[in-house]
Amino acid sequence: MKTVLTIAGSDSSGGAGIQADIKTITAHGLYAMSAITALTAQNTTGVYGIMEVTPEFLANQLDCIFKDIYPDAVKIGMVSSAALIEVIADKLKEYKAAHIVVDPVMVSTSGSRLLAEDASKTLIKTLIPLAQVITPNIPETEVLCKMDIKNAGDMEQAAVKIAEFTKGAVLVKGGHDLNDANDLLYEAGTFEWINGERIENPNTHGTGCTLSSAIACGLAKGDTLSDSVKAAKEYISGALRAGLNLGHGSGPLNHMFRI
């Protein structure tokens, strides 16, 4: 049984974070372990509270997991502070973790900041260089490369800039103001566009968490990064097409549709 560790925050509404990750990993037939970085009180309309775990407690969770069930891949989602980012980076190096997917979560779909202002530098300096792939959305890409992104050419230029400070690949996700669903994988100097049909569904809460967890599943199974991203794209499109409609805001996906 292949295993995937998610290191992320808890989303009380079940649509994003740890909950989305575990549903996605399970739907892919793999075993999910989880280390929780923070509790959030949130629902489909917004984030109403964040309570971080201490760095010591996060280190304890990671020790418990790596000493007992060694993960075949690791997905990192919301990590809201520099101190927690440093603990994760130290433990990933200590345990020589492989197939690390970093989803640089900064702001929730509902617009709430999930990464402290001063933590971006620590994310860039200590965690992103450990990633096999990072999966920023358009706003996160703009923060990471300090440029506006208005079109596909900007996405390609941004991916090259980000690759300068990460040793891994960059998946710049489309959507948002570009109003498409075309993603760009930049790996070892090569661009690969992974296009998707835009699905008119207001319930997109947790799409990024779901995609990055699905990519980690492919890597855990030994697939190439390109194949893992393409399979994850199929999965997220299917989850959007399945059209779950819960809550009064931008609701969750249907993770449990059959792949």
Ligand X SMILES: Nc1ncnc2c1ncn2[C@@H]1O[C@H](COP(=O)(O)OP(=O)(O)OP(=O)(O)O)[C@@H](O)[C@H]1O
Ligand Y SMILES: Cc1ncc(CO)c(N)n1
Is 17 a binding residue for ligand Y by CB under 6 A? The answer is yes
What, of ligand Y, ligand X, none, does residue 173 touch, CB below 5 to 8 Å by kind? ligand X
Give the separation between CA 117 and CA 48, rounded to whole angstroms.
Answer: 18
Is 89 a binding residue for ligand Y by CB under 6 A? The answer is no
Catalytic residue chosen out of the listed positions 37, 109, 204, 210: 204
Q: Which residues contact 223 (CB under 8 A, 6 or more apart)?
A: 231
Spell out a b/e string for 152-188, using b for 16 or more CB atoms within 10 Å of the CB, else e: bebbbebbeebbeebebbbbbbbbbebeebbbbbbbe
- List the structure tokens of 199: 């699905």
Of 9, 55, 71, 104, which lies in the binding site for ligand Y, with binding defined by CB under 6 A?
A: 9
Residue showing the smallest CB distance to ligand Y in the complex = 17
Let me know: does 135 contact 212? Beta carbons within 8 Å: yes
Is 105 a binding residue for ligand Y by CB under 6 A? The answer is yes
Q: What is the DSSP letter of 125?
A: I
Let me know: does 236 contact 209? Beta carbons within 8 Å: no
What, of ligand Y, ligand X, none, does residue 60 touch, CB below 5 to 8 Å by kind? none
Is 250 a binding residue for ligand Y by CB under 6 A? The answer is no
Query: Tokens 């891949």 map to which residue?
Result: 73
**19 membership: H or E segment, kind and range:** helix 17-27
Respond yes or no: is residue 64 known to be catalytic.
no
105 vs 214 by CB, closer to ligand Y = 105
Respond yes or no: is residue 174 known to be catalytic.
no
What, of ligand Y, ligand X, none, does residue 17 touch, CB below 5 to 8 Å by kind? ligand Y
Let me know: does 76 contact 8? Beta carbons within 8 Å: yes
Beta strands in the chain (DSSP E): 3-11, 31-43, 46-52, 73-76, 100-102, 133-134, 169-172, 183-187, 190-194
Is 253 a binding residue for ligand Y by CB under 6 A? The answer is no
Give the binding site for ligand X (CB under 6 A).
Answer: 16, 109, 137, 173-176, 181, 183, 196, 198-199, 201, 204-209, 211, 233, 236-237, 240
What, of ligand Y, ligand X, none, does residue 240 touch, CB below 5 to 8 Å by kind? ligand X
Catalytic residue chosen out of the listed positions 208, 218, 221, 233: 208
Q: What is the DSSP letter of 54?
A: P
Catalytic residue chosen out of the listed positions 168, 206, 218, 251: 206
Of 77, 168, 251, 252, which lies in the binding site for ligand Y, with binding defined by CB under 6 A?
A: 77
What, of ligand X, ligand Y, none, does residue 36 touch, CB below 5 to 8 Å by kind? none
| Residue 162 beta carbon to ligand X: minimum distance, rounded to whole angstroms | 15
| Residue 232 beta carbon to ligand X: minimum distance, rounded to whole angstroms | 8
Residues involved in catalysis: 173, 204, 206-209
